Amino acid sequence: MEISPTIFIVPTGIGCEIGGFAGDALPTAKLLASASGCLITHPNVMNGGTLSEKNQNIFYVEGYSLDRLAKGEIALKRVKQQKIGIIFDSGIESEILVRHLQVADACVSTLGINVHSYVVTNKPLNIVIDSDLSKISGGIIENPDTLIDAGKYLIEMGVSAIAVVAKFPDDSDSLETNIYREGKGVDPISGVEAVISHLISKFLKVPCAHAPALGQIELNENLDPRAAAEEIGYTFLPSVLIGLSNAPDIVELPAKYELISLHPDQIESIVVPNGALGGEAVLAGIEKGLNIISVKNQNSLTVTNEFLDYHNLFEVDNYLEAAGIILAIRKGINLNSLKRPLKKIQEYFYPIKNVE
């Protein structure tokens, strides 16, 4: 069956109305995957705390690697199963560490996921959160080298994908956290989460995703439904392990054909929130002439097509419309034939050549 490989991006930490919470873009991803037959998206879309799903039509690719795919630097290879190793931040309290280890055991016993082993970092990662209620979530890792060293060791031990669990500051009573839980702000920890997984992807070139280690949080009766998935378990690790369980291998290009399941040249479209058109993947897609589908999805960024003036961009009101465009592209239907009024075909007048 024909497919229309599509990248689906919801940037982390910019407060998207859809996709800015605990896996609340997962239903959208399932719809777009059904329409395209092949969707490439990142953990921010798929991870819902304790909730997630496997889908044979979805490639689960960390954001840094997804950008490299769009730029044509890597390809992807399907695998039946990844051998997952977990890096635990040595700053995690012992009780919380035990909870995470129990989650890993449950994913093996109940879901059949291959969680192979784990290591604890030599030094605490020391995560520092820097967020602005009206702008973008961010932060830094004070000891990034200890993270990379732990990842290298796991790979030497035969691991093929890495989950990271870092200790985050206890800010459960902060204004930013409570506003986010009530659906009115930016996830304060998501930006630095991306920094953590980007580091592993950049230096170790294996599938990777991150889950924060946080203490139990007080009940909030005003909780927004989009944040609810983060409130129903002890850890956020299950969705990460589910996503990594059969995440595709990263294949550096050029490579032999038999190593590749999805080549970047096969990608036809990129779906992205309106205002978030300045990312590396989108700019690479524009350079290659791909279809860019810009969806109204309120967020804190303001890079629109007014700045880019890209001719092959579709602006739509929602992801239902985006799915319709992708399906039309997949089926080879002229999009203009679906619009009214329907224009007549154009006549070109060409110069008559002199015949001697």
Average pLDDT per 10 consecutive residues for the chain, totaling 356 residues: 92 87 92 98 92 93 97 97 97 94 96 97 89 64 94 97 90 62 68 86 96 79 80 87 97 91 97 94 96 93 87 95 97 92 89 73
In the prediction, which pLDDT does 193 show? 80
Q: Phi and psi for 39 in degrees, rounded to 5?
A: -115, 135
Nearest in space to 69 (alpha carbons), one of 330, 247, 229, 302: 247
Distances in Å between the Cα of 230 and the Cα atoms of 23, 41, 90, 159, 188 are 9, 20, 23, 28, 14
Helix, coil or strand: residue 150: helix
Distances in Å between the Cα of 314 and the Cα atoms of 73, 305, 321 are 26, 10, 10
Nearest in space to 271 (alpha carbons), one of 15, 22, 66: 66
Helix, coil or strand: residue 269: strand
In the prediction, which pLDDT does 306 show? 87
List the alpha helices (DSSP H) in 112-157. Answer: 144-156
Note the pLDDT tens digit of each residue in 7-36: 999 998 888 899 988 889 999 999 999 999
* Residue 53, CA atoms < 13 Å, CB-side half-sphere: 13
In the prediction, which pLDDT does 133 show? 46
Q: How far apart are CA 184 and CA 193, in angstroms?
A: 20
Token pair, residue 72, equals 């044509």
Distances in Å between the Cα of 25 and the Cα atoms of 21, 34, 198, 330 are 8, 14, 21, 22
Residues in CB range of 262: below 8 A, 6 or more apart: 5, 38, 40, 59, 75, 76, 77, 78, 248
Helix, coil or strand: residue 203: helix
| DSSP one-letter code for 337 | G
In the prediction, which pLDDT does 99 show? 94
Taking a C-beta distance cutoff of 8 angstroms, is the pair 207, 60 a contact? yes
Q: How far apart are CA 52 and CA 66, in angstroms?
A: 19
Note the pLDDT tens digit of each residue in 139-162: 788 999 999 999 999 999 999 999
Q: Is the dihedral of CA 273, 276, 282, 286 positive or negative?
A: positive
Q: Is the dihedral of CA 258, 264, 270, 275 positive or negative?
A: positive
For all residues of the chain together, what is the average pLDDT?
90
Peptide bond into 248 cis (omega under 30): no
Residue 352's CB is within 10 A of a number of other CB atoms, namely 6
Q: How far apart are CA 261 and CA 249, in angstroms?
A: 10
**Which one-letter amino acid corresponds to residue 82?**
Q
Residue 278's CB is within 10 A of a number of other CB atoms, namely 15
Residue 120's CB is within 10 A of a number of other CB atoms, namely 14
Q: How far apart are CA 171 and CA 210, in angstroms?
A: 18
Q: What's the predicted TM-score (pTM) here?
A: 0.91
